[in-house]
Amino acid sequence: MPELEVQPTGLLYEGKAKSVYTTADQNELLVVYRDDMTAFNGGKHDIIANKGHLNARACKLFMTMLEEAGVATHFIRMVSETSMLVRKLHMIPLEIIVRNIAAGSLIVRYPFVEGQPLEPPTVTFDYKSDERGDPMIIPEFILALGIATAEELTLMRKTALQINTILKAFFDQSGIMLVDFKLEFGRSNGAIYLGDEISMDSMRLWDKETHESFDKDVYRLGKGDVIHAYTTLLDRILPLERRSS
């Protein structure tokens, strides 16, 4: 790792796409976005140069935008092009999935048609467990397993819909549809924060007119050059960055 202004003191977790390091401050972690790209629960894996940088750049934009709109996020600041300082959270092992348009696993598991609008948007939960294949989980099971409280579930659902409203309006300005995305939350000092990442790896984004993808589906489904897709997306949305703040 190049010399950073914040020095990692130990590797806390090496995930499929990011490495998480402890720092001298026990409340702060350094998250490094690597160039690893995976799909199908790690079944497909490649190293794609520059991918970590593009996702870190996007994540910074979205986290900053959400903070400014009053959403509590773990983001503190960028440390390099591929790494950011974040608040250390006790992660809740759930993926909160917001969908505006039917795509992906939804059309495989249920008789939705790809591209069908979902009104109102849906919020569902997946239980984060690689061994179990991240199964969808109902609120009653979340409560019975003690994964989160009813209050936390209500807050996560409300925050997820608030984030959806903000991001949907932002992408709309550049002719892009926010099809769906996933969030992860965690606890710190009795409060809930948005953690992990919001990036092209965690969202589905389609051109409004052509339905061309600018997200991980390009890699997942072998639809073309994923770096070209991610770069095209950033070129379209970054000029709006200052106006949104």
* Residue 125, number of CB atoms within 10 A of its CB: 24
Nearer to ligand ATP, 21 or 170 (CB): 21
Asked whether the beta carbons of 193 and 73 are under 8 A apart, the reply is yes
Q: Nearest residue by C-beta to ligand ATP?
A: 15
Asked whether the beta carbons of 159 and 71 are under 8 A apart, the reply is yes
CB of 42 to ligand ATP, least distance (A): 8
Q: Indicate whether 15 belongs to the interface with ligand ATP (CB under 6 A).
A: yes
Nearer to ligand ATP, 134 or 241 (CB): 134
Interaction residues for ligand ATP, span 95-134 (CB under 6 A): 128, 130
Angle at 117 between CA 157 and CA 120, to 5 degrees: 35
Distance CA 234, CA 140 (A): 39
What's the full length of the chain, in residues?
Answer: 245
- Pick from 123, 105, 122, 125: nearest CA to 114: 105
Tell me if residue 47 falls in helix, strand or coil: strand
Interaction residues for ligand ATP, span 142-181 (CB under 6 A): none
Q: Indicate whether 91 belongs to the interface with ligand ATP (CB under 6 A).
A: yes
Only one of the segments 59-67, 87-95, 148-156, 225-233 lies at the binding site for ligand ATP (rule: CB under 6 A); that segment is 87-95
Tell me if residue 166 falls in helix, strand or coil: helix
- Select the residue interacting with ligand ATP from 74, 99, 182, 216 (CB under 6 A): 74
Q: Indicate whether 196 belongs to the interface with ligand ATP (CB under 6 A).
A: yes
Q: Indicate whether 216 belongs to the interface with ligand ATP (CB under 6 A).
A: no
- Select the residue interacting with ligand ATP from 6, 21, 23, 29 (CB under 6 A): 29
And the tokens for 115? 């591209």
Asked whether the beta carbons of 182 and 78 are under 8 A apart, the reply is no
Q: Indicate whether 17 belongs to the interface with ligand ATP (CB under 6 A).
A: yes
Angle at 52 between CA 180 and CA 25, to 5 degrees: 100
- Select the residue interacting with ligand ATP from 16, 157, 187, 236 (CB under 6 A): 16
Nearer to ligand ATP, 112 or 127 (CB): 127
Q: Which residues contact 189 (CB under 8 A, 6 or more apart)?
A: none
CB of 183 to ligand ATP, least distance (A): 11
Q: Indicate whether 8 belongs to the interface with ligand ATP (CB under 6 A).
A: no
Q: For the range 8-16, what are the long-range contacts, defined as Cβ-Cβ under 8 Å and sequence gap of 24 or more?
A: 16/42, 16/45
Nearer to ligand ATP, 28 or 207 (CB): 28
Q: Indicate whether 86 belongs to the interface with ligand ATP (CB under 6 A).
A: yes
Distance CA 242, CA 237 (A): 10
**Where does this chain bind ligand ATP (CB under 6 A)?**
13, 15-18, 20, 29, 74, 86-89, 91, 128, 130, 184, 186, 195-196
